[in-house]
Amino acid sequence: MNDKKFDISGMTCTACALTIEKQLGKMEGVQSVAVNYATEQMQVTYDDKKLDIKAIQDAVVKVGYEAVDASKVDSKEDKDVTSKAKKHLKYMERRLIISLIFTLPVFYLAMGPMVGLAVPSFLAGEKNILTMAFTQMLLTIPVMLIGEEFYRVGFKTLLKRAPNMDSLIAVGTSAGFIYGVFAIYRLIYGYAHSDMDLVHHYGHELYFESVAVIIALITLGKYLESRAKSKTSAAIKELMALTPDEAIVLVEGIEKTVPTTQVKVNDLLVIRPGSKIPVDGIVTEGHSTVDESMLTGESLPIEKGKEDKVIAGTMNQTGSFIFKATAVGDDTALAKIIHMVEDAQGTKAPIAKLADQISGYFVPVVILISLVSFGIWLLLGYEFEFAFRIGISVLVISCPCALGLATPTAIMVGTGRGAKYGTLIKSGEALELMHK
């Protein structure tokens, strides 16, 4: 059996993670698969005699997502999950601002007159109802374009019979927008036939503001979610920052400054007072004291002399010494600690698995309830428009993400804060068992 970690892109809710797990779980040769929506990573245990990495990646692509072998990501910047989270946060912030710029005017035009607020004269009065309707529609279209990801992912997963939260948003807002366009058609018909009762009725049945507000609120939720991810992964960045970017290597008696990534086992390195140790090694010459508190918790500096071990990320104090590298890159003690924290943040506690199962059934059940609600109100004799509004309401108010995101976010925070203060937690299950 082989264990492999993948970075997953394209997920927008916890139902996406469960969809990937179901797809891979059906493959022959896959022993276990765990997808963590909060960390956007997937851990797969598989029989390498029956499967290869390409087959696993193809299976993920088949359900609408992308998987990249995490071991192929070499650069420190790409491995820095905090850096990626911050970039995504900026992207979500721009989307939120633009959506609000268009949503607030739509909301004001739709709701303002109901509470006595003034609107521009060219939009006021019964003669301008059609102009008001077109204005709201034109302001809503950019908001829908900002939320194009909801429609692209939502309808794609719906067609693949694996609906997620985006499917609810896509179907609900699309239905609302189509109904608004239908209302404009009825307004045109009313004006053409001088039927002002029809004009007044459909002038209050546009629902463009509902479409815009729903997308804006969901975008706000996505922004807050991205902000939480950016903050909770900060502990890994702090651990990574312990390793210096450069090291002084002794080559035939000459000191050369090279990137830490280029240091090799058995290289001789020079450490000066106040500098950080770049890799693990054994002191060959010199004497000093080293602050290892950030890794071991030892409050007092440790004496280091010939044949003593030094650890990457620790801080040299007053003396200078030369040491021979014994472990570099991912083999250092600090790198293993970072990997342990990342693995712990990517694991699922038993309660999280239960939440994911509920989220997976939640979306199709909501769609079914929406259709049933629409049908019942229609059978009870209510107008089509009323029953239609009920069906849309059920779709757009339902979001299982809070259920599935709460536990993994708590694990990310717990393991990250623990690592910051010197306590390493191996898995989410261990964290859950601590209360017993």
Distances (CA, A) of 406 to 14, 196, 398, 402: 10, 51, 16, 6
Establish if 336 belongs to a structural domain: no
Helices (H) and strands (E) in the chain, counts: 16, 13
Is the same domain home to 180 and 37?
Answer: no
Q: Please state whether 63 falls in left (phi above 0), alpha (psi between -120 and 50) or beta.
A: alpha
The pLDDT tens digits for 3-12 are: 888 888 888 7
Both 137 and 167 in one domain: the answer is yes
Taking only the tens place, the pLDDT of each residue in 286-325 is 999 999 887 777 778 999 999 999 999 999 998 999 999 9
Domain count of the fold of the chain:
3
Of 331, 364, 390, which marks where a domain is finished? 331
In a domain, 307, yes or no: yes
One domain, residues 311 and 358: no
The phi, psi pair for 332, rounded to 5°, reads -75, 160
User: Residue 337 falls within a domain, yes or no?
Assistant: no
For the whole model, what pTM was predicted? 0.67
End position of a domain, from candidates 16, 41, 73? 73
User: For residues 244 and 275, is the Cβ–Cβ distance under 8 A?
Assistant: yes
Q: How much is the pLDDT for 346?
A: 61
Same domain, yes or no: 100 and 211: yes
* 69 and 85 both lie in a single domain: no
- Provide DSSP, 386-433: HHHHHHHHHHHT---HHHHHHHHHHHHHHHHHHHHTT-----HHHHHH
Q: What confidence score (pLDDT) does residue 75 get?
A: 45
Task: For residue 14, give its domain range.
Answer: 2-73
Residue 139 belongs to some domain of the structure: yes
Clarify whether residues 289 and 349 are in a common domain: no
Listed as ranges, residues in the chain with pLDDT below 50 are 74-79
Give domain status of residue 164, yes or no.
yes
Backbone angles phi, psi at 432, to 5 degrees: -70, -35
Within this chain, do residues 39 and 121 fall inside the same structural domain, yes or no? no
The pLDDT tens digits of the residues spanning 72-86 come to 654 444 445 556 667
d(CA 336, CA 342): 10
Query: Quick one: residue 305, left, alpha or beta (phi over 0 = left, psi -120 to 50 = alpha)?
Result: beta
Indicate if 187 and 311 belong to the same structural domain: no
272 domain-assigned? yes
Q: What is the pLDDT of residue 166?
A: 81
Among 331, 354, 389, the domain-final residue is 331
User: What CATH number does the domain containing 9 carry?
Assistant: 3.30.70.100
At 336 the pLDDT is 85
Strand, coil or helix: 233: coil
Whether residues 143 and 228 share a domain: the answer is yes
What 8-state DSSP symbol labels residue 276?
A: B
Residue 356 lies in a domain: yes
**Do 285 and 321 contact (CB within 8 A), yes or no?**
yes
